[in-house]
Structure 1
Amino acid sequence: MLDYPSLAALAAVLREGGFERAAAVLGVTPSAVSQRIRALEERVGATLVVRSQPPVPTEAGARLSAHMERVRLLEGELAADLPLLAGAEEGPATLRVAVTADSLGSWFLPAAARFSAATGTLLDLVLDGEDHTAARLRNGEVLAAVTADPAPVSGCRTRPLGALRYLATASPAFLARHFPQGVDAAALARAPVLRFDRKDGLQARWVEETFGHPLAAPTHWVPSTQGFLDASLAGLGWAMNPLPLVAAHLAAGRLAELIPGRPLDVPLHWQHARLGARLLEALTREVAAEARRSLVPPA
């Protein structure tokens, strides 16, 4: 039989990002958490977590953590049906979901709000780039993910959501100052560009697809979806912004496209664990419904 207190310690360390945080959640000492994981490693005969900051699971640790998170979800669903089974200290179930910052800022939250209102479930949202969220699902950190990766994760269901459309936008004043003769490769090399973080390659991808060469330009780093939009409006730089966020600003003339009619569509997919189906299927329905309203239909 599996040692579930030890599995819970492992999952908590990876979920909370440290031994002390896991201890606080579990109501034990950090030493107890460490001892439980060490005993589990001895039983499995393999290292389960790399003691770094934050801790990182090994392949075996990721599999065991994912199993424990799914057990927690199934227990939460069972407790909802049979309340007397739940301990007095237990609250509503929590789903840990990986989502891109742009999806969170532009279309995902209405789906999350409807799901939580209907089920009483809490959400623990983990932000990462669209090319990296599937890895969070693969290593057991989350139970569902919005991802650009169409390859199914083992033990998960996947479905296409549509594409999040991005437009290369800037304020009219910025365009007049940096592109007086129009947008071309030479002007783009001089004009400041906004990037979210070092994983953000959307601006470079748009330039590559539009002009056929890499982007090399002065860069402002703005790690916030709303900050990205505000920086664009303020004339700090040009950027790829999600259409749902900029449509009203384009209509009002507060922003303009660098080259009209040249969008960049990023296909998104929804993947979720097969177990714990009731809550995950409920969330899937809301996510799919909101995607139909907000995203470009799948090709």
Structure 2
Amino acid sequence: MFDYKLLESLERIGALKSFEAASQELNITQSAISQRITNLEQRVGSILVQRGKTLSLTATGQALANHVIKVKQLELELKHLMNDSVKPHALKIVVNADSLATWWFKATKEFNLTHDVMFDIMIEDQSRGLKHLEEGLVLGCLCSSDKPLNGTRCYFVGNMEYRFYCAHHFYQRYFTHPDRQHSINQAPAIIFGSADKLHKQTLQQWGYQTHYPYHICPSSEGLAHMVTNGQGYGLLPVLQAEPFNEQLVDIFPDQPGIQVPLYWHYWHQSGSVLDKLSQLLVGERTKGLIR
């Protein structure tokens, strides 16, 4: 039988990537949490934490961390069924930034209030979020992959439409040149991060070379503000751009909108609360909010 205090310490170290941060969250000394991990490694007979410039869990350590995450979720589910309201139900999930900035909170507001849920949300690009579910760090994931992992369910939620926008004065400065390729080469783009490939891939699909200057802004709201302020051009969800229609120019009005599918993945047997959230996300009302 495992000592779950030791496993919880291991899981927190893996999630926070720091002995110090984990000790502060668990309200114990750094020496105490180090001793817990040493004891656990001795019991298991294997190194569980890779200590170096970047702290990470070994494969065995991650497997133990995944186990304690699922056990904690089952305990919370049991308390929920027994109407034990001492501790709100916690759901650790991954959601892409653009969904958070547009439709997510409208879709989940009533659910959140009805079920007394504490969301623990990780933000990740829609093309990369599934890795956190695979690693066992979260219970659910909203991403663009339609390939379910073993032991998970996967449902289509809806398509988010994106278009290239810029401010009027930015358009006049860069995009009135007769050669659109010249404009793309000169105009500063704005992308969410180095892992965000949608901007580049879309331009390549439309036949443009993709050597251009760019800002990196890892905030959906921040990226939209940079575009509306004329600091660059970029892909915005149509939902996010609508309130700023008078301030923005659709750079490629003759091109179709870029459709990015969203899928909800979650672990089997994670409890009725997660099942209810999943039913909400794949329902017609949510599809109407995403359009």
Cα shift readout 1:102-141 (whole Å, capped 9, x = no counterpart):
1111221223322211110101111111122111111121
Contact 1:100 1:127 in 2 (8 A): yes
Distance 1:285 1:225 in 2: 26
Equivalent residue number for residue 32 of structure 1:
32
SS in structure 2 at match of 1:130: coil
Would the aligned equivalents of 2:90 and 2:119 in 1 still touch at CA under 8 Å?
Answer: yes
Corresponding residue of 1:271: 265
Q: 1:177 aligns with which of 169, 173, 189?
A: 173
- Equivalence for 1:189: 185
2:97–2:124 contact (8 Å) kept in structure 1: yes
Instruction: Tell me the residue number matched to 1:166.
Output: 162
Q: How far has the Cα of 1:178 moved from its partner?
A: 0.7
Q: Deviations over 1:151-209 (max 9, x none)?
A: 21232211122222111111122112111135721211111111122112221112111
Which sections of structure 2, spanning at least 5 residues, go unmatched?
Answer: none
Q: Secondary structure at the match of 1:244?
A: helix
TM-score, normalized by length of structure 2? Answer: 0.91
Structure 1 runs not aligned, ≥5 long: none
Matched, 1:257 2:250: yes
SS at match of 1:32: helix
**Counterpart amino acid of residue 279 in structure 2:** R
Deviation at 1:82, TM superposition (A): 3.0
Which TM-score applies when normalising by structure 1?
Answer: 0.89
Q: Distance in 1 between matches of 2:142 and 2:107?
A: 12
- Alpha carbons of 1:138 and 1:26: their partners in 2 closer, same or farther (altered >3 Å)? same
User: How many percent of aligned residue pairs carry the same amino acid?
Assistant: 27
Distance in 1, Cα, partners of 2:240 & 2:141: 21
Measure, in 1, the Cα distance between the counterparts of 2:200 and 2:177. Answer: 21
Q: What SS is found at the alignment partner of 1:170?
A: strand
Give, in whole Å, the separation in 2 of the partners of 1:96 and 1:45: 30
**Counterpart in the other structure of 1:124:** 120
Contact 1:114-1:286 at 8 Å conserved across structures: no
Question: What is the SS of the residue equivalent to 2:113?
Answer: helix
Q: Is the 8 A contact 1:70 1:275 kept in 2?
A: no
Q: How many residues align?
A: 289
Residues 231, 127 of structure 1: alpha-carbon distance in 2 compared, 3 angstrom cutoff:
same
Deviation at 1:19, TM superposition (A): 1.6
- Per-residue CA deviation, residues 4-60 of structure 1 (Å, 9 max, x unaligned), is 121111112223332222223323222222222222223333322223466322222
Over aligned residue pairs, what C-alpha RMSD do you find? 2.0
Distance 1:58 1:127 in 2: 24
